[in-house]
Chain A
């Protein structure tokens, strides 16, 4: 009962606050009805969304989820994407790999990569980018607890995103969630993929948790897969890594059939 009242209160507060962001553009969906219905049809374009990888080892998943959201936000428009990353993030987690972007479903030629020295420079670059409304999305990757990234800075980003009508994704590796002006906040960790034949790792899979949404939707977790051909999120496989047994053949197939064609 109490939870219900709280949620109602939150929703009414969100309605009051609504003046802060533009509601005129349709939100972008994640392509998965389960999540889209829960968060009111999708995430708004001109807003700031935060992604927190759960641990340092989940950074790959965090980046993947942010990139997937950026691709969803950009849609079929094919507008350029701006990726701002701090030097420290590249040292810790490697540089963005163009061939990997192509394999993930993105067009590497559409990326502008800004290699910022520190968080301050990264924020400055993002600020500058949000004055231009030619971008499909802006991803900012900041490493660790950055003092520069306080409430004021995140308000600035959120306002810039609203003005430009551009989706801003802030990936915070190695940092704990703190109060911010973000529209939504997600926690991401890697999830075991649905294995292909011969125990090969399958599609990217994420375990995502909605931590906070300004419209007051309660926290919830999902497991999703990324379909890089259709650029949508898919529901995960039924029960982990077990393939169905064929009815008309022996359960253990011949070794030759066990191989998956590579490339």
Chain B
């Protein structure tokens, strides 16, 4: 609700009919809380260019911890003027206040004209505000009003212990915060990153080559920071701050702790190249920030003479490049699972994740043919099969409109369901290895024991042998 609207006599909570009566030419939009919260989040992101510590205050406020940041913008007044002016340019009317504690600043911004409170002046500044400014629920506000306590000044002068006894410790906490006696740190929207570097540009840049060059430069500075602590990055994030306030973040993860600037830069260039939603510079980016979000200890190592480690490194590098290019979920490796249900014997894990120590794969005795197929269908393909009841091997089956005559078969290999899993109706499976007249080998199973579990058991093709 901005000044102009207030001047026309509109206020929050007014019914639509009343509002129309006051302003006949009123433009009406449906409420869209999701769009509102998106906008709020975007503004919060944009505020990252002032301070890394940005917290949300309800759905329409932002709390910025500007400790140690104000001098970059010409002092507190300069920073406040800059934010207000830029937000005004985006089309927002913002009220802001600067104070020693987040609660005091919030109360002043929401319930007065805002402004900058000199150090230690919080208690004086908030005295005339109503108790709602404490940011408490409506019930205690009503209880306070009933007790005749309407302004913060009324509370501030009273002994604290009876207040806490009657209205709860929470109230006291808030009161102390608002009066500037106690500082509650804000909870930032994004975790605070220890290792990050930033590059501000005098002129917004828009060419991909320029951005990549800047990233390479930033990676070089970041790796120096990590090298000092003997660390390498596992997850890097680049934030591109667009001149019009939009922020785009792109992350790449690595398969091992990494601190080679050119590799980091190459991963980013591959990621950017393969984005489905390309990086749109608009009118250009005015700053780029690179952070190592996840780090791991990485002592400096010397390459072994046998070159074994080098091979592992090279493979990890390949996995990183493929993951950056195609997406992490597209490059996987097998890991054994303790299950005898064929589709659960192995799971696919992202190759980026650290592999487990030793994987043991079951194999049938030497001299046997392969007893498990090379390819497995998920889900199994339903087929029409002709078989002897109750548990004979199929003699003929039809799959994808082709009939296969079975020439040889082995089975059944009975696999009982895992009853400890909560499934709809687990059925026993009888597996058959069959070979057709032309020598193609298939893995078929009958679901359910004949007569016992199912009246008309269904047949499925589960895999193809070589």
Q: Which has the most chain B C-beta neighbours within 10 Å: A94, A124, A202, A204? A: A94
| Contact yes or no, A108 B361, CB < 8 A | yes
| Contact yes or no, A125 B345, CB < 8 A | no
| Contact yes or no, B369 A60, CB < 8 A | no
In the complex, which residues of chain A have a beta carbon less than 8 angstroms from the beta carbon of B334?
98, 101, 108-109, 111, 113
Binds A, one of B73-81, B97-105, B318-326: B318-326
| Chain A 96-130 interface 0/1 with B at a Cβ cutoff of 8 Å (1 = within) | 11111111100111011111110001001100110
Chain B nearest CB from A242 CB (Å) reads 12
| Contact yes or no, B363 A103, CB < 8 A | yes
Q: Which has the most chain A C-beta neighbours within 10 Å: B325, B345, B439, B465? A: B439
- Contact status of A107 and B361, CB under 8 A, knowing A125-B326, A201-B433: yes
| Contact yes or no, A128 B325, CB < 8 A | yes
| Contact yes or no, B374 A200, CB < 8 A | no
User: Quick one: closest B residue to A194, CB to CB?
Assistant: B369
Partner of A113, one of B314, B331, B364: B331
Q: Which has the most chain A C-beta neighbours within 10 Å: B325, B332, B407, B465? A: B465
Binds A, one of B1-9, B231-239, B408-416: B408-416
Partner of A190, one of B378, B409, B439: B439
**Which chain A residues (63-122) contact chain B, with CB distance < 8 Å?**
63-65, 67-68, 79-80, 93-104, 107-109, 111-117, 121
Q: Counting CB contacts under 8 A, is B449 at the interface?
A: no
Partner of B464, one of A93, A98, A124, A206: A93
In the complex, which residues of chain A have a beta carbon less than 8 angstroms from the beta carbon of B407?
192, 241
Q: Counting CB contacts under 8 A, is A191 at the interface?
A: yes
Q: Counting CB contacts under 8 A, is B311 at the interface?
A: yes
Partner of A201, one of B348, B376, B402, B410: B410
- Contact status of A262 and B466, CB under 8 A, knowing A134-B311, A190-B440: no
In the complex, which residues of chain B have a beta carbon less than 8 angstroms from the beta carbon of A226?
466
Partner of A65, one of B326, B369, B466: B466
User: When chains A and B are docked, how far (Å) is the Cα of A178 from the Cα of B464?
Assistant: 27
In the complex, which residues of chain B have a beta carbon less than 8 angstroms from the beta carbon of A94?
373, 375-378, 463-464
User: When chains A and B are docked, how far (Å) is the Cα of A145 from the Cα of B425?
Assistant: 42
Q: Is the interface of A mostly helix, strand, loop or mixed?
A: mixed
Q: Which has the most chain A C-beta neighbours within 10 Å: B331, B336, B409, B464? A: B464
| Chain B 363-401 interface 0/1 with A at a Cβ cutoff of 8 Å (1 = within) | 111110111111111100000000000000000000000
| Contact yes or no, B434 A98, CB < 8 A | no
**Which chain A residues (119-156) contact chain B, with CB distance < 8 Å?**
121, 124-125, 128-129, 131-135
**Range for the number of chain B residues in contact with chain A:** 35 or more
Partner of A205, one of B326, B346, B371, B439: B439
User: Quick one: closest B residue to A204, CB to CB?
Assistant: B466
Q: Counting CB contacts under 8 A, is B244 at the interface?
A: no
In the complex, which residues of chain A have a beta carbon less than 8 angstroms from the beta carbon of B336?
98, 108
In the complex, which residues of chain A have a beta carbon less than 8 angstroms from the beta carbon of B367?
229
Partner of A204, one of B359, B363, B369, B463: B369
Chain B nearest CB from A209 CB (Å) reads 15
Q: Which has the most chain A C-beta neighbours within 10 Å: B314, B334, B409? A: B334
Q: Counting CB contacts under 8 A, is A36 at the interface?
A: no
| Contact yes or no, A129 B318, CB < 8 A | yes
**Which chain B residues (136-160) contact chain A, with CB distance < 8 Å?**
none
User: Quick one: closest B residue to A66, CB to CB?
Assistant: B466
| Contact yes or no, A99 B372, CB < 8 A | yes
Q: Counting CB contacts under 8 A, is B351 at the interface?
A: yes
| Chain A 165-209 interface 0/1 with B at a Cβ cutoff of 8 Å (1 = within) | 000000000000000000000000111110110111111111100
Chain B nearest CB from A157 CB (Å) reads 16
In the complex, which residues of chain A have a beta carbon less than 8 angstroms from the beta carbon of B355?
109
Apart from A98-B361, A109-B335, A128-B321: 11 A-B pairs, beta carbons within 8 A: A57-B438, A59-B375, A68-B466, A100-B374, A100-B375, A102-B372, A132-B318, A135-B318, A200-B408, A204-B465, A263-B364
What would 24 A/B residue contacts be, using CB atoms closer than 8 Å?
A60-B440, A60-B464, A63-B374, A80-B315, A93-B375, A94-B373, A94-B463, A96-B374, A97-B463, A98-B334, A101-B334, A101-B374, A103-B363, A112-B315, A113-B331, A113-B334, A116-B326, A116-B330, A124-B326, A134-B311, A190-B438, A199-B408, A204-B370, A228-B370
